[in-house]
Structure 1
Amino acid sequence: MAKLNIVLLEPEIPANTGNIGRTCVATDTKLHLIEPLGFSLSEKALKRAGMDYWKDLDVTTYLDYEDFLEKNPNAKIYYATTKALKTYTDVQYEEDCYIMFGKESAGIPEEILMEHKENCVRIPMINEIRSLNLSNSVAIVLYEALRQNHFDHMQLQGQLHNHTWE
């Protein structure tokens, strides 16, 4: 069964993290938060964005990037960045991989990117745009990874309330 992982390196905006948390709950994806965080995990904005789903979230926090690496020594990590040479559709996401996103104001530090340049991916955009919203970026890349893993264990068909599909 595919069990993907989203990693947020020093996220700053609680609403983004709340939205990402809700997406993780909806996809049975684990969320990893690397400190320092730009907010408290008890903030109302975070819980409002995650709605009542936050209590169902599988989330782990880490003191820093090194702590994350030490506690996940075998992690296959993809680094989502606007600076990558490859697009997010150019790689094959393993069913238990980690997809890391940097903080809203600066992204992932270039030193980390250079150490892992073969695993850096980007979402194509026109030149005039600096970046997409973090929660939108997570959803785009996560759903591509889920698609590549055939949406394993996910509900593929919806249901109408007052009618039936025929």
Structure 2
Amino acid sequence: MVKNFGGNKSKKQARKIVSAPRDNRLRTPNPDEPDEQLACVSKMLGNGMCHVVCGDNTTRLCIIRNKFRGRSKRHNTITPGSFVLVDVRSWETASKSIQKCDLLEVYNKSEMDRLVDTVSFDWAVFKGIGTHETNDKLESNDDCEFEFADNNTYELEQDIRENTKKTLKESATILEDYEGEIDIDDI
């Protein structure tokens, strides 16, 4: 049997507990299961629960199973803005409280990039939730950017642009005028 050397916290990640590396297959929502949905974590609540915004733009209470907690948490870190696969509890009776769902899969950054490329889905639903590391493919170009400035900063920016244009023109004319060879020793 393997002896776990080290003290205190190194035994929590012991060699005999480490499982085989995850396979490279990406778990996507099953089209035969209408309850499986892609979601984005909007708020962590604690005690194995979080709020998620599902693909149908509804907020649900996600129950994090023990598979994703404790020692298995290392590669399944869930933070606001994380993308997850959830299973909606359609069998549960409707009540006045928020609808519940179960966590099935946590996607990391590389898996999320592959998921955006392979799954046809309206990713704009998750825009503005948490902090996305893969915003390049999720963002649309219709963003409106505001820039706050006064007249002084505007005039300074124009002066800088004019000066750079002048220096570029001067350097271009210097290069055009000189037709000989450059001797490095003269420099």
Q: TM-score, normalised by structure 1?
A: 0.27
Query: Which structure has the greater CA radius of gyration?
Result: 2
Greater length-normalized contact order (CA 8 Å, ≥ 6 residues apart): 1
Q: TM-score, normalised by structure 2?
A: 0.25
